[in-house]
Structure 1
Amino acid sequence: MDATTSASAVRRDEAATERLVAWIQDELQTHRPAYETARVVAARLGAHRAGDVCEVVFWAPELLERRVPEGDVFIEVLDPEEDLVLSRARQTMAFHRTRVPITRIENYCVAAISGMRPGTREAIGSFYSLVWRDAENTWTRIYDPLAASLPFGVFAPAEYYDVEAMLAARTDAAYWAALPEGDPVKLGPATNILQIHAPTATSSMTLAGLTRHIETLADRVRHDVPLAPADRIFLGYEAIQLLPVEPTTVYEAGPAFWAEEDTPDGEPEDDARLVVDLRRPDTTNWGYDIVISGMAAVNPALLETGRPDELVDLACALHNFPGRPKKLVFDVVFGHSDNQGLDVLSYHYFAGPNMYGQNVNYRNPMVRAILLEMQRRKVNYGADAVRVDGAQDFKWWDADAQVLRHDDEYLQEMSDVVQEVAGRRYRPWFIFEDGRPWPEEDWELSSTYRAVIESQRDDDVFQWGPLTFAHNTPFLYTFWLTKFWRIEEILRHGQNWISGCANHDTLRRGTQINPKLNINTRLGDTRMEILDKAYDHPAVQMLTYAAFPGVPMDFLNAMARASWGFIRNQDDRWGVKIVAEEAVSLGWQVDDYTYSLPGSFTRLKDLGFSDRDGLDRFFRIVTALVDVTDYDLDVMAKLLNEVDPPLEGPSPFTARMLKTIARAWMDDMHDYCNVSKYLDRLGEAHTEYMLALREFRIARPWLRGALGPSDHFDYQAPTRGSVAFRSLRHGPDGEQVFVVAHLEGKPLLGLSPTELPIPGLDGGGWEVALATPPIGADYRGGPIDLHDSMAVLFTRRRG
């Protein structure tokens, strides 16, 4: 990409600056409430192209508080002197530096600049940030929290990007033109969802690679190519939900992706030139460790080309999918910030520490407006829906009542944001994860999972349902009966819940459970088989898709029977402790054979952990020492060196080496969880069944509604050692759907499903519509032996 430009042309455009200043002054002098004004001004924050001029506006109240004179504040523009190659792992680049004076209006720093180069898919733009100097001539940067492109992460200057040109070039205009009438139109729910973590979804580990995969599948569908198991796990879904694609935390102990070289001692600083050691961002993260800054941009670690256009390309590939376009759901995280947020944003954005890092200051009018503006800009990439992570964390302190309140008004404002894509104005479908009163100890009992549904104006607002939230262990005996009270809630008013057992959170929690608990060994011969089947359970899926109301959601890693866990390689201080908590997943997801494969756990093997048992022994002792030593790494290393017989691994152990091992675990697990490594193990019968089940649900949208007075759901009682659920539902067109599903326990021998004493079941005409493997296609009804995880789906139509 050609990145060179004539840096001498970069200068302040006085007339354009005066016009921008006048506009802001007019807005600030209106009689509107402060928050309404903040919403208007927030739309102009950041760097925007206005013809040949770049309009730059920063909200920087900290400068007034520090009493920094206007003459010491500048927009610093950096243009690379040579071609900048974003696909390189590391490079040293010299930038021509231009510091452009700003005009300050209260808390806003404003400048209109000519000569800045806007970034595009083909070319790299100018980099910029707000800088100020103190009385000692020390310079400090303020990064743009509303940046559109961050090739080197949030702790680096942003790239000035031509967002309008990027969005105008999208190829899915026909999809948006076909939306129902309305201005804005309100988009409704999808029939079902596939949740995807882009870095582990394909071997490329990028958004561009995922787009290519979707386009390849589209070609196969378009040309009616026979489908392979690896194809089927992506198909039969009306929506794709990405785990967050916003920039995440960076390496706590370095290296930095943008490291400015110091001026040699004795030499004056070159005001016109800056030399930077650049590294391509390569962090691995499950997506939820954000710092609030940069939420309108795309995580550069997910971008093959470093261009945010990749996210637009993915939206277009989904919307242009043949036969049935796929909706795109963004997962956004605004309920908390990692502590690294304190290093990139002013204290005005935060309201004090919490269990994740920092609470967000929603009561500050400008912060509130900026957060909603970040959301608006991100969804304008082309998302049909938004899933809000941890909505129970949106809180504020009521000083009058001296209580902490949930900010339901802000959640409503999130739903009210109007988007515009390809000339169509719309409001997305909204999904909230809200388990309030979590994290109180009794949350599993007291949470209704309906707090947002009941408080919002729209009737199609959704929440994650009770079997979709974090603590979900379907591989333990009696799970389904002990959760039957929650199932009854789903049946009665689950029409606005996301359903399903497998998602990024539940699968991760499952791997953290002690393998010595009462495991349902009928699910498989090994722990790996048990875990895989528990979260891709044929009978449970039959209930989810053919009996339960709401919108079913599956997780790609679970459908591929691929491993999954907490993935984050940025930690330095707490990394060893986190890995000690995660290492129990060795007992669930890794056996001797998979560990021994040449491409598995290569970093840990290089450190001396040649086999799985040696690594397991090491982690079991480390886990014990975390508590015993109160997480003192030096003491832990000393005790590890004295273990007899000696532990496998590097010798001697040191605090630094323990951190190296923790990093190796995270990087190896990230590779181990890649879905591409599991595709050749998928079976024909099971993937055919699952795809047919999803298609069955799509063909019957009425199943989304709660059970009516003529519908029936129960379990066989007395159980006699078996848990068998039975469901009968009635469609508006006279169709009846009947399911009998064996979830756990001893086999049911000689069962005649359609002769069970269930109201409305009597009479003939029942046909087998679908059955779980290994039930053969020759089964057409009558007595059958049902074993754990087997189910049969019958249909009939009455006038």
Structure 2
Amino acid sequence: MPEYTTIEDATAALIESQREMLDAHDDRFEAAKELTTRLGAHWRDGRAEFGFWTPQLVDEVPAGEVELELLTAEESVDLTADEQQVTFDRQFVDTRREGEFTWTAVDGPRPGTREQLGTLYRLSYEADGERETITDPFADSVPFGAYGPPELYDMARLDDERADRDYFQRLDEDGVTPHAHEDDGLPRFEPATSMLEIHPGTATESGTLAGLKRQFETIGQKQMDGEGLTPAERNFLGYDAVQLMPVAPITQNEDELGYWLPEVTSGDRLRATIRRPDMLNWGYDIIISGFGTVNPAVLETRRPDELVDLIATLHTLPEPMKVVFDIALGHADNGALPLLNDEWFAGPGMYGQELDYTHPIVRAGLLELQRRKMDFGADGIRVDGAQDFTNWDSEAEEEWHDDEYLAEMDRVTQEVAGVEYRPWMIYEDGRPWPRSDWELASTYRTLIEEHPHSYQWGPVTFAHNTPALQTFWATKWWRVKEVRDTGEHWISGVANHDTIRRGTQLDPDPPFSQPQINRYLGETRNEQLRQAYNNPASTILFHGFMPGCPMDFTHANMRAPWGFVRDTDAVWNLKVLSEEEHFPEWQIRPRDFGNDAHFQRLKEWGFESREELSEFLGLLADTVSMTDYDKAGMTELLNTIGTPIGDEFTVSELEQLGRAWMRDLGEFFNLSHWHDQQGDERTAFDRRVREFRHDHEWVTTDFTGGDTLDYVYPTDGTVLYYGYRRAPDDSEELVFVGTMEGVAETVTPTELAGVNDGGWEVALSSPGLDIGGVSDELSLADSQAALFVRSLD
């Protein structure tokens, strides 16, 4: 191995650059926005430059005692292997401190590429006879998770070699007109017409971005060759955007082995066992550190190139698709505490740790992490939980929404393939959440009004919608009407990663005094839930008739199981498990549990049927309630009462059982298990509906003039929506009629919509619907709908 050395003049230049940035601005936040771009590890002109924000060292550790530890594998490393032992050459180089920052430029480290593992790095110093280390929150690659040392990576090469450079350069050449308030001339990606939400960890058999890339490559190749698509493949098409659930590094379960396990350390050698990260998580338990790169658990090769490759594939399909990143920066999991210095945190909060958005370096650092993640090449950004970006007013003793920070998020620009641009902005904002009346008081328009080009998640698609409940479409009518009138900048639809989870938490047999389950949706609970979130009537309504951008979820399209995927929390995993009390009845059919491919861990624990699993979860939920989640008390109660699999649990065993549940569930959700259950007629219908929207993009705009949507009153046991729309250019008109829920109803579409006969054609109709003309009587059962079109040319 070559000997690594500090480059004194380059290190001095880094320090001088820091001074110049701080001197150039009276506002420390403005200075920090420049300064944070230099933090992290950068491979430039054959050398590596490193910058760390280290306020925790200023009064505790002399500057001369802080070194940069560099670890370079002495042999080739197979990052696809489940586990291997690797010997690393270990060297230390000097650093220099300037105020709260630590810098060094080094000659010799190896940058990571698609083919090789780069040099690993971290700050290191002696304290009380022990070697302490500091990781890099601005890392470009964390192949062993955020708790292992990060990797120096050649990000410039990654951008230079991306296969969709023409996609971005066309954007620059097209000169998309900036919005009125943007006077810098930069183009902004336009909103999508419809969007598909994907959980990368369960979307393909491999659960990786590479697997997802192969899925879309196969679909694209079939389209180019004129081959037919399978029913499962159709579920991924008909959209012009994909929203990826978060792919940032996440917390790890402290009760399990990690993925970086150093074993023998000598002066110039370190031997470690490295393991493939395999966390199963929905992606929102982020720890901020490493946010700008990719969770290695969804990387088949552990190379961040996979994210660029997937994006490039989507951008170069025969029918190109935009990519939207789901950015969760409104909180940090408690697992962030050992990774970040204390300045990052404002204190404990609802989801772990609140972040201190008032601190100039934190504020700028979070924006920089956002910029780096989006520079992988995303077209759009979905800001998760915008209502959670708050600060505490000690005088008023209340929190206030940091809308200026949200505006700063909007001001961040991206540079990909040499093109600077602005992404499509989407905010999820349920304020005044968590106020008790938030569902009534939320307007879902606050940030649209602040940023007229932006979109928000609309009220029907937001977290707590439960279309499996009887009267949902009647009691939520006031929200549907808002979509009708002001939904042009809303993400709409009924299915997303959160809504199905809420559906499985419903009591399948509620007391008579509570809202009942809509039995018309299907014969079994499983059928009822899946029909609720992949409802032919609501599909036609939102994709074929209503304004905004409808979004579907892959698992709803596939009518596959979905729930709370969260195997990373050692503290609250049993509480999460108890909240899934009703999951088996909703999502697990008896034949699913009997399938040898599913629930192998739970069967090893002794569960022999779905019913036994339901019984156990019910008992667990009761003990959580009775003990206020005291694990020792829960265990004692369960051992006293007895469970279907025995009565001799320890707390540790109960926690292990909770982890077994999460692992089995994550595998159960994998869409590869559900491909052969896709129906040809139904998937063809869903795709036709989506394609109709793209062929009639004017429906994305708000209702105007004589456009209507209403429901028949009195309801007489059914919720029958009907409506009329006319294209702004007077080229065509539409009539919609659909039974959203309830008993069958016979109607005459022309009479309902108040239009004359003649020239109408059936544009869309639910599978199995026997339909004549627009003036003929039409018998609509629950979830059946039809859309008629008439050309006016």
TM range (shorter): over 0.9
CA contact (8 A) 2:48 2:107 kept: yes
1:422-466 Cα distance to aligned partner (Å, 9 max, x none):
11110000101000001111001111111111122xx22010000
Q: Match of 1:584?
A: 582
Q: Match of 1:239?
A: 241
Q: Match of 2:354?
A: 359
Amino acid across the alignment from 1:628: M
CA contact (8 A) 1:607 1:650 kept: no
What's the offset of the Cα at 1:650? 5.6
Q: Match of 1:102?
A: 95
SS of the residue corresponding to residue 504 of structure 1 reads coil
CA contact (8 A) 1:418 1:427 kept: yes
1:713-744 Cα distance to aligned partner (Å, 9 max, x none):
11012211111101111102321011001111
Amino acid across the alignment from 2:281: N
CA contact (8 A) 2:723 2:735 kept: yes
1:443 is aligned to 2:438:
yes
CA contact (8 A) 2:219 2:229 kept: no
Q: Match of 1:286?
A: 282
Q: Match of 1:376?
A: 371
What's the offset of the Cα at 1:594? 1.1
Q: Match of 1:194?
A: 196
1:793 is aligned to 2:787:
yes
What's the offset of the Cα at 1:781? 5.6
Residues 515-594 of structure 1 correspond to what in structure 2 (within 5 A)? Answer: 515-517=508-510, 518-594=516-592
CA contact (8 A) 2:774 2:788 kept: no
Q: Match of 1:659?
A: 655
CA contact (8 A) 2:484 2:546 kept: yes
What's the offset of the Cα at 1:704? 1.2
Q: For 1:657 and 1:443, locate their aligned partners in 2 and report how far apart those are by CA, in whole Å.
A: 39
Q: For 1:91 and 1:594, locate their aligned partners in 2 and report how far apart those are by CA, in whole Å.
A: 35
Paired residues, what number? 777
Residues 199-598 of structure 1 correspond to what in structure 2 (within 5 A)? Answer: 199-261=201-263, 270-322=266-318, 324-399=319-394, 401-456=396-451, 459-517=452-510, 518-598=516-596
Q: Match of 1:742?
A: 739
CA contact (8 A) 1:754 1:766 kept: no
Q: For 1:788 and 1:563, locate their aligned partners in 2 and report how far apart those are by CA, in whole Å.
A: 22
SS of the residue corresponding to residue 230 of structure 1 reads helix
Q: For 1:691 and 1:487, locate their aligned partners in 2 and report how far apart those are by CA, in whole Å.
A: 23
Q: Match of 1:148?
A: 140
1:475-506 Cα distance to aligned partner (Å, 9 max, x none):
11111110111111111111111000000011
CA contact (8 A) 2:760 2:774 kept: no
Q: Match of 1:37?
A: 31
Q: For 2:454 and 2:254, locate their aligned partners in 1 and report how far apart those are by CA, in whole Å.
A: 38
Q: For 2:640 and 2:478, locate their aligned partners in 1 and report how far apart those are by CA, in whole Å.
A: 51
Q: Match of 1:3?
A: none
CA contact (8 A) 2:76 2:116 kept: no
What's the offset of the Cα at 1:651? 5.9
Query: Cα RMSD (Å) of the superposition?
Result: 1.5
Residues 160-175 of structure 1 correspond to what in structure 2 (within 5 A)? Answer: 160-175=152-167
1:770 is aligned to 2:764:
yes
Q: Match of 2:699?
A: 703
Mark the runs of 5 or more structure 2 residues left unpaired by the alignment.
177-184, 511-515
Q: For 1:385 and 1:466, locate their aligned partners in 2 and report how far apart those are by CA, in whole Å.
A: 21
Q: For 2:289 and 2:636, locate their aligned partners in 1 and report how far apart those are by CA, in whole Å.
A: 40
Q: For 2:585 and 2:34, locate their aligned partners in 1 and report how far apart those are by CA, in whole Å.
A: 54
Residues 670-689 of structure 1 correspond to what in structure 2 (within 5 A)? Answer: 670-689=666-685
For normalisation by structure 1, the TM-score amounts to 0.95
CA contact (8 A) 2:112 2:152 kept: yes
Q: For 1:418 and 1:31, locate their aligned partners in 2 and report how far apart those are by CA, in whole Å.
A: 20
What's the offset of the Cα at 1:399? 4.5
1:180-219 Cα distance to aligned partner (Å, 9 max, x none):
2164211120000000001110111100000000000000
Alignment CA distance shift 1:679-1:776 (3 Å): farther
Larger mean Cα displacement after TM superposition, 447-456 or 147-156: 447-456
Q: For 2:649 and 2:391, locate their aligned partners in 1 and report how far apart those are by CA, in whole Å.
A: 45
Q: For 1:273 and 1:104, locate their aligned partners in 2 and report how far apart those are by CA, in whole Å.
A: 27
CA contact (8 A) 2:432 2:441 kept: yes
Q: Match of 1:266?
A: none
What's the offset of the Cα at 1:712? 1.0
1:59 is aligned to 2:56:
no
Q: For 1:397 and 1:577, locate their aligned partners in 2 and report how far apart those are by CA, in whole Å.
A: 28
Q: Match of 2:80?
A: 87
What's the offset of the Cα at 1:130? 1.2
Q: For 2:453 and 2:18, locate their aligned partners in 1 and report how far apart those are by CA, in whole Å.
A: 37
What's the offset of the Cα at 1:778? 6.6
Q: For 2:645 and 2:240, locate their aligned partners in 1 and report how far apart those are by CA, in whole Å.
A: 47
1:211-243 Cα distance to aligned partner (Å, 9 max, x none):
000000000111111122111100000000000
1:19-75 Cα distance to aligned partner (Å, 9 max, x none):
222222222222431111111111111010111110101011111132x11111111
Q: For 2:684 and 2:672, locate their aligned partners in 1 and report how far apart those are by CA, in whole Å.
A: 19
Q: For 2:617 and 2:728, locate their aligned partners in 1 and report how far apart those are by CA, in whole Å.
A: 56
CA contact (8 A) 1:244 1:332 kept: yes
CA contact (8 A) 2:77 2:116 kept: no
Larger mean Cα displacement after TM superposition, 488-497 or 80-89: 80-89
Q: For 1:34 and 1:246, locate their aligned partners in 2 and report how far apart those are by CA, in whole Å.
A: 28
Residues 573-652 of structure 1 correspond to what in structure 2 (within 5 A)? Answer: 573-643=571-641, 647-649=643-645, 652=648
1:155-188 Cα distance to aligned partner (Å, 9 max, x none):
1110000000011100111211221216421112
Larger mean Cα displacement after TM superposition, 725-734 or 85-94: 85-94
CA contact (8 A) 1:188 1:460 kept: no
CA contact (8 A) 1:251 1:572 kept: yes
CA contact (8 A) 2:540 2:764 kept: no
1:531-556 Cα distance to aligned partner (Å, 9 max, x none):
00000000011111122211000000
Work out which of the residue numbers 726, 729, 734 in structure 2 matches 1:733: 729
SS of the residue corresponding to residue 579 of structure 2 reads helix
CA contact (8 A) 2:638 2:647 kept: no
SS of the residue corresponding to residue 18 of structure 1 reads helix
Work out which of the residue numbers 129, 150, 158 in structure 2 matches 1:158: 150
Q: For 2:123 and 2:701, locate their aligned partners in 1 and report how far apart those are by CA, in whole Å.
A: 52
Amino acid across the alignment from 1:794: F
Q: For 1:509 and 1:552, locate their aligned partners in 2 and report how far apart those are by CA, in whole Å.
A: 19
Amino acid across the alignment from 2:121: Y
What's the offset of the Cα at 1:311? 0.1
Larger mean Cα displacement after TM superposition, 462-471 or 85-94: 85-94
Q: For 2:628 and 2:167, locate their aligned partners in 1 and report how far apart those are by CA, in whole Å.
A: 57
What's the offset of the Cα at 1:261? 2.6
Amino acid across the alignment from 2:333: D
What's the offset of the Cα at 1:402? 4.6
For normalisation by structure 2, the TM-score amounts to 0.96
Q: For 1:770 and 1:404, locate their aligned partners in 2 and report how far apart those are by CA, in whole Å.
A: 48
CA contact (8 A) 2:380 2:423 kept: yes
Q: For 2:636 and 2:367, locate their aligned partners in 1 and report how far apart those are by CA, in whole Å.
A: 50
CA contact (8 A) 1:48 1:54 kept: yes
Q: Match of 2:716?
A: 720
SS of the residue corresponding to residue 434 of structure 2 reads coil
